[in-house]
A and B are shown apart, each in its own frame.
Chain A
């Protein structure tokens, strides 16, 4: 075995470039740089990079990020959740029903909604784990079931599918601002006074900065990304997530509680969808039965752009966050650059295909073509 211990002469030394290619975030990083360069060149004067513009695409990116973190960890654990979009609509509607129709205190409405939605996530996971059916099918069923309830319940109770008055109901509540408030207002006032960001020039808000603070939505997004990344890369549970998605049988044989890991990831995905929903209803002040449609696919696309494999076992939360950022910047950037917005979908399709092809290549490199 002596020659083995000296390394195998048939394995070529891998270049730094190839090693960098192994990092799942690479595609996301390159893509992020590319979209910023692109819009920096073609839309710099459009207002995309002044304070309002930055806030505009940051909020959109943060929305994608929140659901992408959940979808990312779940995909690495080897499963999909197609019910994310319906869950967003459902959660928002539940808050409106509890908080407005039934008149519960907003914090109770929010907490009960979280419990119900996470329980649905657990049910998704439980069915997938117990039946061994593809999560694709199980959560497709949940997609329709939840969407159906989201339309049926308000129609039965209120004879309408949009329920407003949430902002008024949340007035003075202690929990609602954690999802709906803006923080750092004094900093923005100061920035406005210093002339670094724009201020309103007339009207009853004259002198106030055009950007009032950082919405809690963005704080949630960054918080979830940091926590998700930490759990995945730095904890024992993170190793179990990789293992459950890489090869569930092998993981089980090594003593990893695969079923419990997967169910928890479904619950986490539902949690992220609910965070999204609460932030959204607090921002809009209303809940609509059509909210969140197609969000599940947008989350999955962000995750795939971020370098995760559709087959599980490989990926990165940071990558998914960058995927969400690319998503948000391009969607809003096309608007700023005055490009027909339907072209955004063309872009999505193209970049999704490119990302999947790149990821497949990377996987082959890692596993030595197997």
Chain B
């Protein structure tokens, strides 16, 4: 295996008296889909926010492309190539697809001393990138609010890829989607991975993780129980680890193993 693109070493994060992360170590390879699983409150969101520069770790070290890094804010992380597609999307429903696509990275056209938003370029690129991902828009000025949940996810992913993400963090991209839209998003993840981008896929759905994941890391109560390769672990084992084992086994028994 080559050197990992990003290594998180013994990350701890405390919020006042609450210990959200109690020493988590994960490494992520380029071109892999690394699934981060965990139940609600396990520390998944805190962990990826630490990775993407939103939080500074209380203790521990982050190594990105071989160098220890210290991001002051999310913008630094984005510039370095760590992009996050958030649970709540980071899309603004009232704005058009192309305005959303270039939000924070607006292309500039100079007109004398005046710098203008280059709408033609933005529109062309947004349409082309969406077509690549298999979505045909009515027009670049279509408001994001009119897209389906899966399409919005795809806009967000296409945006991150277009802006040169090396590590793409997806925060529960499938949690609010229907079956068909989930399949679309999983297919998009597969496309992105094949371009050599490292995908960190956060989910609490074991089946979604199994569908595209290369490796699996389970977080539980701010700790990790290690990383497993695809084929080394069964969905049932993952489920048990996420829920913390014992009580879940009892619960599952009473539900006839359907969860």
Contacts and interface: CB of A to CB of B under 8 A. Distances in A.
B27 to A, nearest CB: 25
B91 A367 contact: no
A98 B78 CA distance: 49
A255 B145 contact: no
A236 interface: yes
Interface stretch (B17-25, B101-109, B203-211, B251-259): B101-109
A193 interface: no
Contacts of A243: 92, 95, 99, 103-104
B94 interface: yes
Contacts of A314: 94
Interface in B125-145: 131, 134-136, 138, 143, 145
B235 interface: no
B84 interface: yes
Given A5-B134, A238-B117, A314-B94, A366 B145 contact: yes
B247 to A, nearest CB: 34
A242 B104 contact: no
Contacts of B134: 1, 4-5
B93 interface: yes
A235 interface: yes
A250 B90 contact: yes
Interface string A227-258: 00000001110111011001101111111100
Nearest to B146: A368
Nearest to A244: B92
B74 A239 contact: no
B74 A255 contact: yes
Contact of B94 (A4, A249, A253, A366): A366
B249 to A, nearest CB: 38
Contact of A246 (B92, B117, B119, B148): B92
B108 A236 contact: yes
B177 interface: no
Contacts of B194: none
Interface residues of B, number: 36
A183 B86 CA distance: 54
B145 A370 contact: yes
B68 interface: no
B117 A363 contact: no
Contacts of A256: 103-104
B103 A367 contact: no
A15 interface: no
Contacts of A7: 136, 138
Given A4-B135, A238-B117, A255-B74, A367 B143 contact: yes
A234 to B, nearest CB: 5
Tell which of B119, B135, B143 has the most Cβ of chain A within 10 Å. B143
Interface in B67-97: 74-75, 78, 84, 86, 88-95
A367 B187 contact: no
A235 B117 contact: yes
Contacts of B148: 8
B108 A249 contact: no
Tell which of B117, B134, B136, B148 has the most Cβ of chain A within 10 Å. B117
B145 A249 contact: no
Interface of A: 1, 4-8, 11, 14, 22, 234-236, 238-240, 242-243, 246-247, 249-256, 309, 313-314, 363, 366-368, 370
20 contacts: A5-B134, A5-B135, A7-B138, A234-B119, A235-B115, A235-B116, A236-B106, A242-B94, A243-B99, A243-B104, A246-B95, A247-B92, A247-B93, A250-B89, A250-B92, A251-B103, A253-B86, A309-B94, A366-B145, A368-B145
Q: Which 9 A-B pairs have the closest CB atoms?
A: A367-B145, A246-B92, A255-B104, A254-B104, A236-B106, A1-B134, A250-B90, A255-B75, A367-B93
